[in-house]
Amino acid sequence: MAQSFPIPRGCPFAPPAEYGSLREEAPLVRTRLPGGDVWLVTRHAEAQQVLTDPRISTNPATPGHPMAAFSERPPSEEERQARAKFQVGQFIDMDPPEHDVYRRMLIPEFTVRRVREMRPGIQEVTDRLIGDLLKQGSTADLVEAFGLALPSLVICRLLGVPYADHDFFQSRTRRMIEANIGAEESMTAFAEIWEYLDGLITQAEREPGDNLVGRLVTARRETGELSHEALVGMTFLLLVAGHETTANMIPLGVLTLLRDPGQLAALRADPEGWPLAVEELLRYHSIVDWIAFDRVATEDMEIGGQAVRAGEGMFVLGASANRDPRVFERPDELDLRRGARNHLAFGYGVHQCLGQNLARAELEIAYRTLFERIPTLRVVGQDDELPFKYDGVIFGMRALPVTW
């Protein structure tokens, strides 16, 4: 039994220490939340099983969904309605076959080939941001000036946000994910972005451009599938899922590499090693951990020898599965040449990250270019002085002061 949940990380470079003992205790461990008990899935094999079993749902409306257990009382009608507006088109929360209608429309936008075509654009944005950093002096907050800006500008290009609107788009996406601003302020930013995307889709309905939004509008016209609101929701999901994740991985990866000068020097000498390094950084940090892996059984079943009843909720501990010694040798060691692609940092099964090829390209270009163009980059301060986001839903950094 886990005494409490969520369990905070004690060290920025490792999952919570208790994960190790829970993983050895059993593949499924019970924990008590205010609204009821849920299962924590601790091992890699059972995590894969849970994420692929069609009898297990991710839909928050399925009875017993574990997110509801965080609160002692069900949400009021008013709360339900306030949330419902932002739930339209969120296929990350849908089960097949409904989920597949949305995902199918977007798959061509994120293939390896399509992402290869995006690389020059990502490189251009990266070069511009680093050029601005160098122009402005010899110190910066890498979260503010680079980590948050790069994924936001990449999504702008992907969606076809006109250049003149980039500042608006960037400031609102930033505000949406700042953990230290009030809930009301972040809801306002949510609403402003939603409204903006609504306008972008309305404009494309008049005149579809050669970009993701234009192609969605055309596909909708041809197939008759999905509503205008569903398209707004889909693009909103791309933004939410693709921004905070990448924005946190950029500074965390930079810090990790700067703290390991030997492995960084090897990468500088052999830049072909970057794709493997990115893969290992994703496994090592597992920034999404349990938050996206909320599932509920819809039938009685057995997982890892444990009976699970219909209506029982589960959280897959991605960060624990990614350190499972049954699958990864020396799991707690950062080995940038490891080459393990069976990590769960992008999930597994039908909901496996749709934007993973894009995320890999962004991270690889960001790290490689930054270390090439600023070879004297250094962190200002010790690890215990740096502001990590221990309380955020996605692990990351609030700021990363650097100098060169």
Among residue numbers 164 through 183, which ones bind ligand HEM (CB under 6 A)? none
Kindly report each contact of residues 12-18 with a partner whose C-beta sits within 8 Å and lies 24 or more positions away, as own/partner.
Answer: 12/252, 12/383, 12/386, 12/388, 13/256, 13/284, 13/285, 13/334, 14/323, 14/332, 15/286, 15/289, 15/317, 15/319, 15/320, 15/322, 15/323, 16/319
Residue 40 phi/psi, 5° resolution? Answer: -105, 125
Characterize the bridge pairing of strands 28-33 and 56-57: unpaired
The residue whose two tokens read 């409904």 is 98
Interface pattern 60-99 for ligand HEM (x via CB under 6 A): -------------------------------xx-------
Q: Are the beta carbons of 200 and 160 closer than 8 angstroms?
A: yes
Interface pattern 338-377 for ligand HEM (x via CB under 6 A): -------xxx---x-xxx--xx------------------
* Three-class DSSP category at 120: helix
The residue whose two tokens read 């999504």 is 155
Q: Does 292 bind ligand HEM (CB under 6 A)?
A: yes
3-class secondary structure for 247-300? HHHHHHHHHHHHCCHHHHHHHHHCHHHHHHHHHHHHHHHCCCCCCCCEEEECCC
Nearer to ligand HEM, 233 or 355 (CB): 355
Q: CA–CA separation, 166 vs 42, rounded Å?
A: 41
Nearer to ligand HEM, 20 or 242 (CB): 242
| Binding-site member from 6, 12, 15, 242 for ligand HEM (CB under 6 A) | 242
Shortest CB 312 distance to ligand HEM, Å:
18
Shortest CB 92 distance to ligand HEM, Å:
4
**What residues does 29 pair with on adjacent strands?**
40
Q: CA–CA separation, 277 vs 281, rounded Å?
A: 6
Nearer to ligand HEM, 98 or 383 (CB): 98
Shortest CB 40 distance to ligand HEM, Å:
16
Q: Does 149 bind ligand HEM (CB under 6 A)?
A: no
| Binding-site member from 38, 189, 241, 264 for ligand HEM (CB under 6 A) | 241
Nearer to ligand HEM, 293 or 315 (CB): 293
The residue whose two tokens read 């960084």 is 264
Q: CA–CA separation, 357 vs 115, rounded Å?
A: 7
Nearer to ligand HEM, 98 or 300 (CB): 98
* Three-class DSSP category at 382: coil
Q: Does 217 bind ligand HEM (CB under 6 A)?
A: no
- How many chain residues interact with ligand HEM (CB under 6 A)? 24
Q: Are the beta carbons of 275 and 383 closer than 8 angstroms?
A: no
Shortest CB 78 distance to ligand HEM, Å:
27
Residue nearest to ligand HEM (CB): 355
| Binding-site member from 57, 126, 173, 245 for ligand HEM (CB under 6 A) | 245
Nearer to ligand HEM, 15 or 242 (CB): 242
Shortest CB 396 distance to ligand HEM, Å:
10
Q: Does 152 bind ligand HEM (CB under 6 A)?
A: no
Chain residues binding ligand HEM by CB under 6 A are: 58, 91-92, 103, 237-238, 241-242, 245-246, 249, 287-288, 292-293, 345-347, 351, 353-355, 358-359
